[in-house]
Amino acid sequence: MKTYLVPGAAGFIGANFTKYMLKKYEDIKIVILDKLTYAGNLGTIKDEIKDDRVEFVKGDIKNRELVDNIFYRNNIDYVVNFAAESHVDRSIENPQIFLETNILGTQNLLDVAKAHWMLGKDEGGYPIYKDGVKYLQVSTDEVYGSLSKDYEEAIDLLLEDEEVKQVVKDRVNLKTYGDNFFTEETPIDPRSPYSSSKASADMIVMAYAETYKMPVNITRCSNNYGPYHFPEKLIPLIIKNILSGKKLPVYGDGKNVRDWLYVEDHAQAIDMVVNNGRLGEVYNVGGFNEEQNINIVKLTIDTIAKIMKEEPEYSKVLKTDLENINYDLIIFVKDRLGHDMRYAIDPTKIATELGWYPETNFEDGIEKTIRWYLDNQEWVEEVASGDYQKYYKQMYEN
């Protein structure tokens, strides 16, 4: 049996990863460590914390004694660190906590894992570790900075690798807005306080790999979407606002491009990297699903309107008239400071080394996501009941 320490599993991706792993592996233990910030919610993992295979610990990844204690009590094989401050807009308003959690928190987890996994030292003074242990840092494509957008409208993406092309052709858009992509060789060039803190965390992970020969991997994923996504991020915020007939704030001209990945596909990639990734390697995750923000917003409006027309029983969820669900809801607002123009992942390394490909086609994924929100309005009400109202007012109504 393998035991995973999963910090940040009460948040969006960590929770989806935990659900994925518990479903996939019978013989597994997951220790969740989460501070339950505004972004972490016990309602997100309410079934999982009742599972005998799960232990939940409320606390901060910076707390040395607490993390130490978790390692003393459990035979931890893997640490998969999702815990972070994750929202770019909040990092622009208040950078400091991003540095504290994302950098110092990561370093604390690494240090405690190193102490508990170390068996002795080799002749050169390098630590020797228990067999089979690994620290995986969940990072982001934002550490690479921003790519140029070379085309106003998406052009066909020509994949050179025939094998990759055959596998992905029915699943993804195969369109691109530019000629360049993020590979694992792309130099780190973060531009926001959030991405700088994530890049710093990546560097400290690699420093532990070089200096102490720690067994580590880093994954750098593109924008995720799916169930349990906190409604401060674009897609869940748009869904929430459409259902209540509120305006849909699109930053700048809406032409920035993101590369969207269904969250379960990310969970699968992390599982593959934990179990089969080569030690010390970085793997980019995502790919072939670039879209401009404005088109994401329009597709979300169209999909909700279609569901409401075809399945009138859902209208009970609406706090507005169906006829109000149209493009008139869109408003263009002041742009995000330092707004990155385009992200696009080249997933060739994880595809060819580990056999991972994006599985979920975007139109299916977005409809699945919207249906999840329609069926889980209680969750939305719960997570949006605290700090969210204040945040929304400050961000969008001033």
The structure tokens 């995502």 sit at 286
The per-residue DSSP string of 310-379 comes to H-GGGGGG-SS-GGG-SGGGEEEEPPPTT---B--B--HHHHHHH-----S-HHHHHHHHHHHHHHTHHH
Cβ at position 87, least distance to ligand NAD in Å? 7
Q: Which residue, 71 or 251, has its beta carbon nearer to ligand DAU?
A: 251
Q: Does 265 bind ligand DAU (CB under 6 A)?
A: no
Q: Which two tokens stand for residue 259?
A: 């590369």
Q: Does 16 bind ligand DAU (CB under 6 A)?
A: no
> 177, 194, 262, 373: which one is catalytic?
194
Cβ at position 239, least distance to ligand NAD in Å? 15
Q: Does 82 bind ligand NAD (CB under 6 A)?
A: yes
Q: Which two tokens stand for residue 1?
A: 């049996």
64-73 and 106-117 are packed helices; what angle lies between their axes, rounded to 10 degrees?
Answer: 40
Q: Which residue, 314 or 392, has its beta carbon nearer to ligand NAD?
A: 392
Could you say which of 16, 37, 44, 86 contacts ligand DAU (CB under 6 A)?
Answer: 86
Cβ-based neighbour number of residue 298 at 10 Å: 18
One-letter amino acid identity for 236? P
Contact pattern from residue 237 through residue 276 relative to ligand NAD, giving x for each residue in contact according to CB under 6 A and a dash for the rest: ----------------------------------------
234-243 and 362-375 are packed helices; what angle lies between their axes, rounded to 10 degrees?
Answer: 50
Residue 194 is among the residues annotated as catalytic for this protein: yes
Q: Does 5 bind ligand NAD (CB under 6 A)?
A: no
How open is the CA angle 28-30-32, to the nearest 5 degrees?
A: 175
Picked from ligand NAD, ligand DAU, none, the partner binding residue 117 (CB below 5 to 8 A depending on kind) is none
Cβ at position 187, least distance to ligand DAU in Å? 17
Q: Binding to ligand DAU (CB under 6 A): which residues in 154-213?
A: none
d(CA 62, CA 5): 14
The structure tokens 């060789």 sit at 185
Exposed / middle / buried, residue 245 (Cβ in 10 Å: 0-12, 13-18, 19+): middle
Give yes or no for a contact between 251 and 291, defined as CB atoms under 8 angstroms apart. no
Picked from ligand NAD, ligand DAU, none, the partner binding residue 29 (CB below 5 to 8 A depending on kind) is none
Residue 228 is among the residues annotated as catalytic for this protein: no
The per-residue DSSP string of 155-193 comes to EE---S-HHHHHHHTTTS--EES-S--B-TTSPP---SH
- In this chain, which stretch among 29-37, 49-57, 110-118, 325-333 interacts with ligand NAD, using CB under 6 A? 29-37
Q: Binding to ligand DAU (CB under 6 A): which residues in 330-349?
A: 336, 343
Q: Does 219 bind ligand DAU (CB under 6 A)?
A: no
Catalytic residues: 141-142, 194
Interface with ligand DAU by CB under 6 A: which residues? Answer: 86-88, 140-142, 222-223, 233-234, 237, 249-251, 256, 258, 293, 336, 343
Residue ranges binding ligand NAD (CB under 6 A): 7-8, 10-14, 33-37, 39-40, 60-62, 82-86, 101, 105, 138, 140, 198, 221, 223-224, 230
